[in-house]
Chains A and B, each alone.
Chain A
C-alpha cells in the first residue's frame, strides 16, 4: 500500500522528536520545581534577560523548523509522485466513487458494474468496492449532496469528497484483503454508519467479478 509507509515513517520521526522535547521540558520543570521550592532556601534569581542565549536558542529552533519543513515537503512530494505514477500507468483501473446521504456508490469504468448499498445499522447492508491486486487503481471521488470524506484507516487513505468537484486517490494494492472504509467528514444524521468495505482480489477474480456484472466473488 503506497500511503501507509510514508505516514508511518514521518509519524515515527515526529513522535520521537516530540517525545524527546516533552521529556526534556518535563524533566527540567520537575527538577526545578524540587530544587527551587521555597523550603530549599535558594533565593530567587534577579536575572531578567540573557539575550545571546535567547537569540541562539531561537536560531536553533528555526533550524529544527526548517528541518521539519524540508522533511515534510519532501514526504508530501514523494506521495504526490507515487500518485502521479499510478495515474500514468497504462493498465490503470478507474472507479467513479460517489458519496451521498448516506452511503456510497462505486461505478467501475472497466465493466458495466455499479455497486451501492443502504449503509444501515447492519454491516451486511454496506457496499463493497472490489479492486484487483497489483494493478494501479484510480478512485475518482465526488458527492451528490454535501461534503463527505472517504477514509480507509488501515491503509492511511483519505480524501474529502465534494459536490461539483472531483478529487482523485490513486494507489496500488499489493496483497489481497478486505478493509473497512468510513466517512470521516461530518455529513448529517447517518454519518456514523456511512461505511463500506474495500476488497482487493486477484486479477482473475476481478475479471470474473466484472464479467458477472458485480456478483460477489
Chain B
C-alpha cells in the first residue's frame, strides 16, 4: 500500500503556512486563524455560551408558567423571551454546533491537513457572530427584542403589527447567521468529498463523517430558502401591504418550511453520527450496519426536502395526504439507523463512560420524539394537537432529549481531543443524571398539557384551565436541568484550571483517525510524530489494534466491510 506512506507525508508541504509556535496562542492568532480546529472551536464555544444565555430565557418562561395568572413579565416581553429562546436555540446553538462539529472532526477523520477554503469557513464564523449580535441587540431597543416566534409568520411580523426595531434586527441577524452557516457547511462538504487522504475512500469514512455529509447537503439544498423567506419578510418591513394578500402569506410559509423541516434533520443527523461513534467505541466493536446506515442517511436527507407541508396541515391550503405520505415514509431510514445503534450494543462489551451514558440515553429519548413525530405527521391527529403543548413536548424530545444528549456525548467524548485534558467522570455522571431526570420531568407533562388543550405561546393561563399541576412539575424539571448545566460549567472550569488529568492521544481507545494524532492535534493534523496510520476500513484504529494483537479474528477481515473492495488498492 504505497498510497498510505505517501499520504503520511502529505501534510508536510503545508507546514510553512503555520505561524511559529510563539505567536499561536495570541488573540490575534485565534481571530485570524485558518486552522479548521480553531475556527470550529470559536464557533462551538460561541454556541455553548449562547446555549447558556438562551437557556436562561427558558427558565424565565418556566417561572412565568409555573402558576396560573402570573405576571412576572409582561405579555410582550414573554413573547420576546420564547422568540429568542426558540430562534436562538435553533439558529444560534444547535445548528452551528451540528455544522461546526463537522468542521472540527471531518478533516481529521478523513486524514486531511486542513479544511478546504478555510477563510470561507472563518467568514462563516464571523457572519454567525455578527448575526448573533444583531439578534441580541433587540434587547437594547425601545420595543424590546423580536417577539414574533421563531417562524415569524407574516402578516404578524410585518412592520404594521410588530413595529419594533428588534424585529428588523432579528430578520437581518437570522439572515446573516444562516448565511455564515451555509459557508461553513460548504467547506466541510468540500473537504469530505474532495480533500480526503488517499487511502480514505468514501466507504472508509467514519459514520460521523457520513452524517456530516448528509447534513451539509441538506444545508446547501434547503438553507437558501430561508434567505429568500427572510428577504420576503424584510420587504414586508418596508411595504407591509404585500401581506394583505394571502398569496404572500402562504408563500412565506412554503419558503420557510422548505428550510425549516430539513433544519430539523440538520440538528439531528450529526448527533446520529456522534451516537454511532460513541456507542461503537465503548462497545469495543465496529459499528454494525455501516453500509445500511450510510444509505439511510443519504435517503433521509433526500426525502427531507419533500415533507415541509406537514407543518401546514391546519392551514387548509396544503396537500395533506401527500405530505403525510412522505413524512411517514421517513420512519424507514430512521428505523434502519436505530437498528444499527441497537445491534452495535447487543454485540458489544460495554464501558459505561460519561459519553457512553449520554449516547445510550439518546436512543430511547429521541425515540419518543420520533414516534410522536409519526403521530403529528398524521393529519387527523395533527389537526387537534398542532400549535398545542403536545408539539412543544414533541420537538423538545427531539432537540433537548435527543440532540442535546448527542451534543453532550460529543462534548465529553472529544473534549480531551480538543484540549488534551480529561473531564471529571464523577461530575460528568452528576450532570448526566440531573439532565436525564430534569429533561423527562420537564417535557413529559407537556404531552398531557397539549392533549388537555393548552395552546403553545401563551404567556399565562387561568386556574380553572386545569394546567397548574403539570406546569409545576415541568418547572421543577427545569430547575434540575439548570443544576445540570451548573455542574457542567464547574466540571469544565476545574478541569481546565487544575490541568490534573492529561488525556493522552487516545484516552478512549477510539477507532477513527483523530485518535491517531496528538491531543490537541498539531496545526496540520498529522505530522512526523503523528503520521497517518493505515486505513483499511472505516474503523482504522480498531483494525490496527487487531493487527498488533496478531489476532486473525474470524469474520473481522476489513475487506468484509466494504472497505478495500470499494476502491482500495487502486
Contact = CB atoms under 8 A, between A and B. Distances in A.
A22 to B, nearest CB: 6
Interface in B535-570: 553-556, 560-562
Contacts of A75: 378-380
Q: How large is the interface on B (under 10, 10 to 19, 20 to 34, 35 or more residues)?
A: 35 or more
B150 to A, nearest CB: 10
Nearest to A151: B455
Contacts of A42: 349
Contacts of A38: 349-351
Contacts of A29: 342, 345, 360, 363-364
Nearest to A42: B349
A164 B371 CA distance: 36
A76 B285 contact: no
A192 B69 CA distance: 11
Given A160-B316, A190-B75, A191-B458, A65 B332 contact: yes
Interface string B430-458: 00000000000000000000001101111
A186 B328 CA distance: 27
Given A10-B378, A76-B321, A48 B560 contact: yes
B415 to A, nearest CB: 22
B453 A153 contact: yes
Interface residues of A, number: 75
A217 interface: no
Nearest to A123: B462
Interface stretch (A56-64, A111-119, A207-215): A56-64
Nearest to A46: B556
Max count, chain B CB within 10 A of own CB: residue among A10, A145, A186: A186
Contact of A6 (B161, B288, B380, B459): B380
A33 B316 contact: no
Nearest to B450: A153
A100 B11 CA distance: 64
Interface string B250-289: 1000000000000000000000000000000001111111
Interface in B42-97: 75-76, 79
A214 to B, nearest CB: 26
Contacts of B291: 49, 51
B15 interface: no
Interface stretch (B32-40, B209-217, B383-391, B515-523): B383-391
B244 interface: yes
Contacts of A94: none
B354 to A, nearest CB: 15
B130 interface: no
B555 A46 contact: yes
Interface string B324-338: 110011011001101
A216 interface: no
A96 B328 CA distance: 35
Contact of B325 (A25, A48, A69, A158): A69
Contacts of B156: 146-147, 186-188
Interface string B305-335: 0000000001111001100110011011001
Contact of B555 (A47, A69, A123, A156): A47
B399 to A, nearest CB: 19
A128 interface: no
B286 A46 contact: yes
A21 B324 CA distance: 20
Contacts of B329: 62, 65, 69
A79 B380 contact: yes
Interface string A50-94: 110010011001101100110011011101000000000000000
B529 interface: no
A123 to B, nearest CB: 7
Max count, chain A CB within 10 A of own CB: residue among B76, B325, B335, B384: B384
Contacts of A58: 292, 332, 335-336
Nearest to A45: B347
A188 to B, nearest CB: 6
Max count, chain B CB within 10 A of own CB: residue among A50, A72, A123, A162: A72
B246 A188 contact: no
A22 B289 CA distance: 21
Interface of B: 75-76, 79, 148-149, 153, 155-156, 161-162, 244-246, 249-250, 283-292, 314-317, 320-321, 324-325, 328-329, 331-332, 335-336, 338-339, 342-343, 345-352, 360, 363-364, 367-368, 371-372, 374-375, 378-381, 383-384, 386-388, 452-453, 455-462, 553-556, 560-562
CB-CB nearest 7 A-B residue pairs: A153-B453, A45-B347, A46-B556, A192-B458, A18-B371, A44-B285, A167-B316
